[in-house]
Amino acid sequence: MPLLLLKELPRFECLLEAAQRYPDLHPESTEAFLHLLRTTDLVFAADSRLLSQHQLSPGRFTVLMQLNRHPDLPETPATLADAAGVTRATMTGLLDTLEKDGLVRRSPAPSDRRLTLIQLTEAGTALMNRVIPEYFRNVAAMMAPLSPEERAQLVGLLQKIERNLPPSVD
Amino acid sequence: MPLLLLKELPRFECLLEAAQRYPDLHPESTEAFLHLLRTTDLVFAADSRLLSQHQLSPGRFTVLMQLNRHPDLPETPATLADAAGVTRATMTGLLDTLEKDGLVRRSPAPSDRRLTLIQLTEAGTALMNRVIPEYFRNVAAMMAPLSPEERAQLVGLLQKIERNLPPSVD
DNA sequence: AGCTTATAGTTTGGCCCCTAACTGTCAGCT
DNA sequence: AGCTGACAGTTAGGGGCCAAACTATAAGCT
């Protein structure tokens, strides 16, 4: 996604000016909020560009990552959806295209015909073996401008915000 | 959107462990990266929940915000799309539903028949007058756990990351 | 055995994003 | 005047998300 943000964030001076018109506007908070969305949009877009070179999207990658963690332990659409924080309807769609591309395999569960077992195929495993190192190098490169102390600091600040918010999915 | 993240981020200890399997995995960078996506997802979801109470989405809100800034200066779909960082096709769809809901009005430009002028309707203006204060209060509330110094610090750290990344749209 | 409640996965329809291609219009050139 | 290239906005098709509703299956109770 882009998050549908303004391409150029308003300067802080503009926020100060707008605060005169909108008393509820808190310039420092709004600035932090907009930068958070903006930076994440850029990070996410860079991540998406890397993944798209391998015919993957962040969503598909997350599913494959989940399956790759314990390859001998099959997952179901419901457990994958729950772990990923999306609806089962969404997961059905993701699995449809992953299966079509030969990266996962669906099979019935012997003991419960409501369940479908999902496993990585050999092609899926091979793809992940190629993508994962590159993915982590890309993540490290994106975070490289921060020193180790600054990364810890960033995590601390983000956790402070996070603790104050309800989870986005049940 | 949820960003299709894992509902529970891996603990840092798990990242250390995974780093043994993936030498390119940099635990501190990966932790910061995942927290950045996670926190923004939660912030964005909270923002979306507030806006959805007013039959708005972040995208529609951004468009209305842009139109609200200079109500007497009509915009065009192309200028709105460019300012918002989305394609003209996307903007057409957003304007379709905003027009259907009576929040914006499309009219032909007298001097250039390629252009469509977009303006807020009275209903659109009234809606924005109700939503904007609430929107900024919500933003301030989400950022409230950070002190003013910490907000400035967050902005600084995010800008460091941002400067190292290409823009997500041209 | 039959009924009720719950679960799994899918389908439908919609929204928001994209790319590519289309139609209509304008600007500049000859 | 006519042509070419560029621009504006839309359409078509697709992916990724949602909610709601559906069908099929399982568990528990009587």
Position A7 confidence tier, pLDDT thresholds 50, 70, 90: low
Which tokens hold the place of A125? 């495993």
What is the nearest CA distance from B101 to chain A, expressed in angstroms? 20
CA dist B72 and B64 (Å) reads: 13
Å from B72 (CA) to D1 (C1')? 39
With a CB-CB cutoff of 8 Å, which residues 117-146 of chain B face chain A? 132-134, 136-137, 139-140, 142-146
Write out the two tokens for A149.
Answer: 């102390």
Residues 131-150 of B with CB under 7 A from strand C: none
Contacts of B45 in chain A (CB under 8 A): 165, 168-169
Give per-residue pLDDT as tens, B51-80: 999 999 999 999 999 999 888 888 999 999
Task: Indicate if the pLDDT at residue B91 is higher than 60.
Answer: yes
Answer yes or no: is A108 CB < 7 A from strand D. Answer: no
Least confident range from A14-18, A158-162, B3-7, B84-88: namely: B3-7
- Chain B: nearest CA to A50, how far in angstroms? 12
d(CA A139, CA B70): 40
| Helix ranges restricted to H, A73-147 | 77-84, 88-100, 122-143
pLDDT tens, residue by residue, B100-157: 999 999 999 998 999 999 999 999 999 999 999 999 999 999 999 999 999 999 999 9
Inform me whether the pLDDT recorded for A22 exceeds 70: yes
Pairing of strands B116-120, B104-108: antiparallel
What are the chain A neighbours of B7 within 8 Å (beta carbons)? 82-85, 167, 169
Judge if the beta carbon of B65 is closer than 7 A to nucleic acid strand C. Answer: no
- CA atoms within 13 Å, Cβ hemisphere of B26: 20
Between CA A83 and CA B126 the distance in angstroms is: 41
Single-letter amino acid code for the residue at A12: F
Angstrom distances, CA of residue A84 to CA of A141, B61, B99: 25, 27, 35
Packing angle between helix B122-143 and helix A27-52, nearest 10 degrees?
A: 90
- What does the pLDDT look like over B13-64, one tens digit per residue? 788 888 888 888 899 999 999 999 999 999 999 999 999 999 999 999 999 9
Q: Which of A1, A25, A145 sits opposite B136 (nearest CB)?
A: A25
